[in-house]
Amino acid sequence: MTDVLVIGASGNVGKMATQQLLENEFTVKALVRDASKLSDIDSDNLSICERDLEDDFSDVFHDCHQVVFAAGSGGSTGADKTLLIDLWAARNAVEYAKSSGTQRFVMLSSVGADAPDDLPSDIKPYLVAKHMADQHLITSGLRYTLLRPGTLLDEKGAGMMQNTMPKHRNDAVISREDVATAIRYAVGSPASDDRIIALYRGSHPIKSFF
């Protein structure tokens, strides 16, 4: 049995999470559109599946204990891709996980997904998509962990975080590497079952939240 299926394993966060999981001796099945993007990862515990999330990708869930959904349409695409990837592909992944007997599902969501009306309108389609995908997971019957990071930064992870919103919204940030670390701990910790965990740069070890 494969320990973890990582959907979106070639993305910025997904790739770092994949690397961390492998370093911690998990077996990983990586679902990507282009396998060459993982060509620099050499591990006997890694298998790679090329699939398009806009098509049927149910076959890759077979014999996977846990799922991480770290895929996203990206900031340069329109609302159509946001709908198809961040909402519909995520929804399909939940359904495929249920059908295949997967036991746990870790969803990489976003700050603001709980209340899309409360944030600027230019990102509202994305937040609505995340909100609906999150709700589908919560009501699915799967054991789940929802991770809702603040604005993602390309800086080295500190291994530290907080889960309460900072006083100033401009401080509601976290490095992609620290989000990947949170994914790794969520996968390894049953204590994170059925929880929604916000992720912001802070002063407490990430492990202590899981």
- The residues assigned a catalytic role are 126
Q: Please name the residue that has the structure tokens 């409360």.
A: 118
Six-digit token string for 162 = 């907080």
Six-digit token string for 5 = 């299926």
Q: Decide if 109 contacts 135 (C-beta within 8 A).
A: no
Which residues in 177-189 are b (16+ Cβ under 10 Å) and which e?
bbbbbbbbbbbbe
Radius of gyration of the chain (CA): 16
CA distances from 66 to 6, 74, 207 (A): 9, 24, 19
Q: Decide if 176 contacts 12 (C-beta within 8 A).
A: yes
Six-digit token string for 14 = 């997904």
Q: What is the DSSP string of 21-53?
A: HHHTT--EEEEES-GGGGTT---TTEEEEE--T
